[in-house]
Amino acid sequence: MFTRTRRLRGNKRLREMVKNVTINLDELIYPIFIEEGENIKEEIKSMPGQYRFSLDKLPDELKELNELGIKSLLIFGIPKIKDEKGSQAYAENGIVQQGIKVIKKYFPDFIVVTDVCMCEYTSHGHCGILCGKDVDNDKTLEYISEIALSHVKAGADIVAPSDMMDGRVLAIRNKLDANGFVNIPIMAYSIKYASSFYGPFRDAADSAPSFGDRRTYQMDFRNSKDFYREVEADIEEGADFIMVKPALAYLDVVKSISDIHLPIVAYNVSAEYSMVKAGAMNGWINEKGIVMETMYGMKRAGVDIIITYHAKDIATWVKNNEILL
């Protein structure tokens, strides 16, 4: 006699009863791009539905997100002035620092996560301080830790270093602890690959390198072992979350680390978002179906928290009773 697995799929209520992978809005983080200037709400051409906001336009967006039930934000800043040392990244009145204050003024209950890196702020577009044509790892640590401290002083709840310098988690932990911020968590971009899936983001954040690439510090996707070392190092240095970026091409990596004792974060990155949007706009795919299948796939692999540009759409679909989480 053959096994009748279809018995548990016979109707919607039965399927809801036996499902064992769940998603809720508390587990989603929505990225926001904040730009210096006034009266700016500019759609990012390569990321339909995503915008750059000036500080004066930010409260309206925050109100909508709050009403939708989104509770956590990841903040990126686009400054007017860039220089070799990325000085606006750690300036007291830098765009991210001001953005944090605006968010906390209007909606103090939002969890504000800040991206800690230099690529949006350096004139050369690399993620650290240059020595010739190479990024100086140890010199960059001094700046990365200062950026993190400036974000926390402005009111950030979590700092998320994405620069991929060796030792950055420890440098930030030491800097925060020395300044009395022992309870601020670090969400480490522990497993961040040199990826073509970042293309639209570089349009959004004006962060493309002016020469070369980032392959000497971001990870090689042809190597199936080095991610273990990255995770082990970040845990030892004091990370509180472990992130995998991009998400969809690396669910095998997520599964491989799914038994660690820290929350696992997946960044559903810009091209992963834009490809779905493009397909939906052309009528080739069912957007809601594809998005939710993707979300559940990440959760099934072992992800606890998802950073995704789809978060606002998902929350809207839930509010309008178009999907059931």
**pLDDT at residue 229 in the model:** 96
- For CA atoms 264, 257, 262, 299, give the dihedral sign: positive
Q: Give the domain ranges of the chain.
A: 20-243
**Which residue among the candidates 245, 277, 299, 312 is catalytic per the annotation?**
245
Domain 20-243 is in which class? alpha beta
**pLDDT at residue 1 in the model:** 87
**pLDDT at residue 263 in the model:** 98
**pLDDT at residue 210 in the model:** 79
How far is residue 96's CA from residue 38's CA, in Å, rounded to a whole number? 15
3-state DSSP assignment of residue 41:
strand
- For the entire predicted model, the pTM comes to 0.96
How far is residue 83's CA from residue 77's CA, in Å, rounded to a whole number? 15
245 is catalytic: yes
How far is residue 135's CA from residue 138's CA, in Å, rounded to a whole number? 9
**pLDDT at residue 203 in the model:** 82
In angstroms, the Cα distances linking 223 to 84, 187, 217, 229, 250 are: 32, 23, 14, 12, 12
In angstroms, the Cα distances linking 319 to 25, 99, 166 are: 11, 27, 43
Q: What is the pLDDT of residues 117-139, one digit of tens each?
A: 999 999 998 999 999 989 999 99
**pLDDT at residue 213 in the model:** 80
**Which residue among the candidates 57, 192, 277, 312 is catalytic per the annotation?**
192
**pLDDT at residue 205 in the model:** 75
Q: What are phi and psi of 104, to 5 degrees?
A: -70, -25
How far is residue 114's CA from residue 31's CA, in Å, rounded to a whole number? 9
Q: What is the pLDDT of residues 56-77, one digit of tens each?
A: 999 999 999 999 999 999 999 9
Is beta strand 72-78 parallel, antiparallel or unpaired with respect to 28-35? parallel
**pLDDT at residue 207 in the model:** 77
Name the token pair of 130: 């240059």
**pLDDT at residue 206 in the model:** 75
| Regions of the chain short of the pLDDT cut 50 | none
As a whole number of angstroms, the longest Cα–Cα distance in the chain is: 72
If you search the block for the tokens 């904040």, which residue do you land on? Answer: 34
